[in-house]
């Protein structure tokens, strides 16, 4: 339902991000959002519409004791979207959380305890972000130094693209990378063989010494 293209095009709008931020807290009706965000009801409605058409929120009619039936909006989509951009790496990933059983986390915790636990969780999230960051940097350095090294720099444009493709998807073999790049298998295989031979060439080792 949700793909990366759709999600990016929807959440690039700051008002829509603010609407989502309010809706994840609790369901809202448009007038409430309009007051909460200081944005006209018309703009709220337009953006709720876009969010709903793209599967990020849903609306339900809710009757109240006084006044007419209201439309109440709540979020429906759950994801983590990550864009890594480096001089040497561009990666956009979208992951949907596995549905976890709705275990009650807090038995009878006091407010301070809940805050402390959340704070500890946030520290751990930052730590995982930092470790991930280190790995991304290492990956980028490794790829860049190969691509700017003596062997790859002797290649032509197409050959460099193929080698980059092979390094960028190290889990994929030559024919999978060919498919990803819309190339013929034998083109890729030839370039890979050439680079493998060059790497093994004893003259290169001497040149580097």
Structure tokens, 146: 């190969």
Query: Residue holding tokens 């006091």?
Result: 110
Q: What is the DSSP string of 123-175?
A: HHHHHHHHHHHHHHHHHHHHHHHHHTSTTGGGS-HHHHHHHHHHHHSTTS-HH
Query: Which of 49, 62, 83, 180 touches its own copies by CB under 8 A?
Result: 83
Contact (Cβ atoms closer than 8 angstroms) between residue 54 and residue 20: no
Query: Which of 161, 175, 187, 189 touches its own copies by CB under 8 A?
Result: 161
Compute how many residues bind its own copies; rule: CB under 8 A: 90
What residues numbered 45-64 form the site for its own copies, per CB under 8 A? 56
In angstroms, rounded to a whole number, what is the distance separating the alpha carbons of residues 94 and 81?
4
Q: Does 181 bind its own copies (CB under 8 A)?
A: no
* Identity of the residue, 39 or 164, whose beta carbon is nearer to its own copies in the bound complex: 164
Q: Does 195 bind its own copies (CB under 8 A)?
A: yes
Q: Does 102 bind its own copies (CB under 8 A)?
A: yes
* Identity of the residue, 25 or 46, whose beta carbon is nearer to its own copies in the bound complex: 25
Closest CA to 162 of 140, 179, 138: 179
Q: Does 39 bind its own copies (CB under 8 A)?
A: no
Q: Does 203 bind its own copies (CB under 8 A)?
A: no
């Amino acid at each position: 339902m949700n793909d990366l293209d759709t999600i990016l095009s929807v959440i690039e709008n700051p008002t829509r991000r603010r609407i989502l931020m309010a809706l994840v807290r609790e369901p809202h009706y448009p007038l409430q959002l309009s007051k909460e965000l200081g944005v006209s009801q018309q703009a709220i409605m337009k953006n709720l519409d876009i969010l709903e058409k793209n599967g990020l929120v849903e609306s339900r009619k809710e009757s109240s004791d006084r006044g007419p039936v209201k439309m109440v909006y709540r979020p429906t989509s759950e994801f983590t979207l990550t864009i890594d951009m480096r001089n040497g790496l561009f990666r956009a990933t979208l992951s949907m959380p596995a549905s976890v059983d709705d275990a009650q986390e807090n038995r009878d915790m006091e407010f301070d305890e809940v805050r402390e636990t959340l704070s500890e969780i946030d520290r751990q999230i930052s730590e995982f972000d930092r470790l991930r960051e280190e790995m991304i940097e290492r990956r980028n350095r490794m790829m860049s130094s190969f691509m700017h090294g003596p062997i790859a720099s002797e290649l032509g444009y197409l050959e460099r693209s193929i080698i980059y493709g092979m390094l960028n998807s190290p889990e994929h073999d030559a024919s999978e990378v060919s498919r990803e790049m819309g190339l013929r298998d034998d083109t890729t295989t030839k370039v890979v063989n050439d680079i493998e031979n060059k790497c093994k060439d004893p003259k290169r080792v001497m040149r580097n010494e």
